[in-house]
Amino acid sequence: MKFIAVTGGVMSGLGKGITAASIGRLLVDLGYRVVPIKIDPYINIDAGTMNPFQHGEVYVLKDGTEVDLDLGHYERFIGIELTGEHNITTGKIYRRVIEKERKGEYLGQTVQIIPHVTDEIKSWIRNVAKAKNAEICLIEVGGTVGDIESMPFLEALRQMRIEEKDGNFILVHVTLVPLDAGGEQKTKPTQHSVKELRELGLYPDIIVGRCKEKLKESTKKKIALFCDVEKEAVISNEDCDIYEVPLKFREEKLDEVILRKLKLEKRERRTEWEDFVRRMRELKEEVDIAIVGKYVDVKDAYLSIREALKHAGVHVGCRVNCIWIDSERLENESVNLDYDGILIPGGFGKRGAEGKIRAIGYARENNIPFLGICFGFQLAVVEFSRSVCKIKNANSSELSESSECVIDLLPEQKQVKELGATMRLGEIEVTIKPGTLAHRLYGRESVFERHRHRYEVNPEYIPKLEGRGLVFSGWSDGKRRMEILELPEHRFFFAVQFHPEFKSRPLSPSPPFIGFVTAALNFRREKLKK
């Protein structure tokens, strides 16, 4: 078993996740079986309760585990499906250690960070890698070297480096190489970061320098000299589209450096990723998509949606420009969303909901391609109920105590006192009605998609909704839960209760996003002809 640990220095948000995912892509292209593990030093058990303003989107894995968005990068780049065991948090580790202590498994020992917590960390990493039959285990440590939260994890990696045989463990350190006012690349932050790392007993084998521009040879030489690494192991990671990073790394010969240090053979390389990036660079047409949400000031809150639109755009043959619209603003202003498509993403809570409903109405009335996701699906039902079915007080019980809640908890959910226990999380089978738009998009009558929601379409109102032209073309749980809706007479009006963006990949885009972007491109072409 080979291990690659990825740490970060100087500041957070440098792109450790993209770096780790890109390394994984390089190795997958060479035919190696790679398993990624993300370490998040926060005490939370998972990311499910975290505010998107602080942490970006909550990504949902197939088993329903709510995790950091970096695991989405791993799935998209490496092309595998992960579960909760691929995400380690301080909360998870301490819970395991405390449970063992309560059961008496430590036989009366004083339970300490070393060896009990670090042993639990090492055991978790090795067990996951072994269970997945990986050839290479990729470990990303969240946060920045020097953070008090990450100390036990870095100590565990230090121990692993000693325990693993020579050539089985390498450390990649990601740092910032800023430009001063005169445009000179400054290496001092990297030097201090590596010094701090070495004080913990860890020595980088490879340094990845994040910079606005490509690292100069003189900069690489200086970093190599002061940080005690080979010049060939100082890798430039300048600003570019995230999907170009693996190719930039290949130009820097990072894959060759890794193979040499891990004593691995060079295998025949696949080129499908290069083909995707080439097509992305050659796009000539474009579409403007309005994304109406309440977290638009933090673009990472909708990261998977943004990437799914990009995947679909490359597949269809156009660049997708995301226009971010604050849904709260639409509650008090006149709605003018004359774009090529309107997308309403998921979310929770009352704030901005009426603005989203107005945006949905605008898309429906003006025959603009529309895609609703999760909360967007529910609000599409509310808007249609009010405007078309004339249910004056139609609403969701999440937002109002109205007597006409077309979106509501199912009876068994109302019996549950613990709010978190009413959530539907993870991959669930969805049955698709033949002859519908959903069936044409997916090309099958059954699909598995990932969910993260609590409320459902109220079964009492389904006959009235369908009687006025709304088609529920997908369902689950013995047709008790509606999953997909569409308006057949509309150019493209499509909404789903699940999150298709979580399963979209650069090499296999999500069908609803392909359909939506295709409709938006056709709509734009129509307008240009007039």
Q: Which two tokens stand for residue 46?
A: 């998972």
Neighbouring-strand partners of residue 289 = 322, 341
| CATH class belonging to 2-275 | alpha beta
Mean per-residue pLDDT, 343-350? 91
- What pLDDT is attached to residue 6? 97
- E strand residue ranges, 42-104: 59-60, 66-67, 87-89
529: exposed, middle or buried (Cβ count in 10 Å: 0-12, 13-18, 19+): exposed
Cβ neighbour number for residue 528 with a 10 Å cutoff: 8
Mean per-residue pLDDT, 444-459? 95
Mean pLDDT of the chain: 94
**What is the CATH code for 284-529?**
3.40.50.880
pLDDT at position 420 over 80 = no
> pLDDT (tens digit, 9 = 90+) per residue, 38-70?
999 999 888 887 777 777 899 999 999 999 999
Identity of the residue numbered 161: R
Q: Which residue has the higher pLDDT, 414 or 194?
A: 194
- What pLDDT is attached to residue 498? 97
Chain Cα centroid distance, residue 293? 17
User: Catalytic annotation on 240?
Assistant: no
Highest mean pLDDT among 40-44, 104-108, 201-205: 201-205
**One of 55, 311, 453, 499 is an active-site residue; which one?**
499
Mean per-residue pLDDT, 340-366? 94
**One of 137, 318, 374, 389 is an active-site residue; which one?**
374
Three-state SS sequence of 233-298: HEEEEECCCHHHHHHHHHHCCHHHHHHHHCCCCCCCCCCHHHHHHHHHHCCCEEEEEEEEECCCCC
Q: Tell me the pLDDT band of 166, cut-offs 50, 70 and 90.
A: confident
> pLDDT (tens digit, 9 = 90+) per residue, 66-94?
999 999 999 999 999 999 999 999 999 99
- What pLDDT is attached to residue 472? 97
- What pLDDT is attached to residue 423? 85
- What pLDDT is attached to residue 191? 96
Pairwise CA distance, residues 175 & 190, whole Å:
6
**One of 155, 398, 486, 501 is an active-site residue; which one?**
501
User: Catalytic annotation on 405?
Assistant: no
Contact 305, 345 (CB under 8 A): yes
Contact 461, 385 (CB under 8 A): yes
Q: Which residue has the higher pLDDT, 37 or 422?
A: 37
Q: Which two tokens stand for residue 423?
A: 């959530």
Chain Cα centroid distance, residue 296? 16
Domain ranges of the chain: 2-275, 284-529
Q: What is the DSSP letter of 420?
A: G
Q: Which two tokens stand for residue 107?
A: 């036989």
Contact 21, 74 (CB under 8 A): yes
3-state secondary structure of 179: strand
- What pLDDT is attached to residue 418? 64
Is 0.75 topped by the overall pTM?
A: yes
User: Catalytic annotation on 99?
Assistant: no
Q: Which residue has the higher pLDDT, 7 or 349?
A: 7
- What pLDDT is attached to residue 444? 96
> pLDDT (tens digit, 9 = 90+) per residue, 356-400?
999 999 999 999 999 999 999 999 999 999 999 999 899 999 998
Please tell me the chain's helix, strand, coil percentages from 3-state DSSP, rounded to the nearest 5: 45, 20, 35
- What pLDDT is attached to residue 421? 66
